[in-house]
Amino acid sequence: MSNRRKAQAIQALDAMCDQLPIPGGCLDCNAEQTMTRDSNGVYRITIHHEDTCPWLAGIERRKGETTC
Ligand SMILES: [Zn+2]
């Protein structure tokens, strides 16, 4: 990837960080996504599920079953 294309990609990702929230991210609820960039330049997408999301409930249930 050329430096110009890298700069365009970073610019596009930075623009997404300003578009909060972004609809979608889950097929089972009306989730919203937020995107951030940390101090190391790593982009992170966080999906915010509805409280009633069955997929999220399944994840939470499995967390409760995990023993270390
Ligand atoms: Zn969901």
* Cis amide prior to 54 (ω within 30 degrees): no
Q: What is the tens place of the pLDDT at every residue in 26-64?
A: 999 999 999 889 999 899 999 999 999 999 999 889 988
Residues with CB under 5 A from ligand 1 (ion): 26, 28-29, 31, 49, 53, 55
For the cut 90, the answer to whether the pLDDT of residue 65 exceeds it is no
Cα distance between residue 9 and residue 6, in whole Å: 5
The SS3 assignment for 36 reads strand
Residue 42 alpha carbon to ligand 1 centre in Å: 24
Which residues lie closer than 8 Å to 37 by C-beta, 6 or more apart?
A: 13, 14, 17, 43, 44
Residue 50 alpha carbon to ligand 1 centre in Å: 6
Residue 29 alpha carbon to ligand 1 centre in Å: 4
CA atoms within 13 A on the CB side of 2: 3
Q: Record the pTM.
A: 0.70
For the cut 60, the answer to whether the pLDDT of residue 68 exceeds it is no
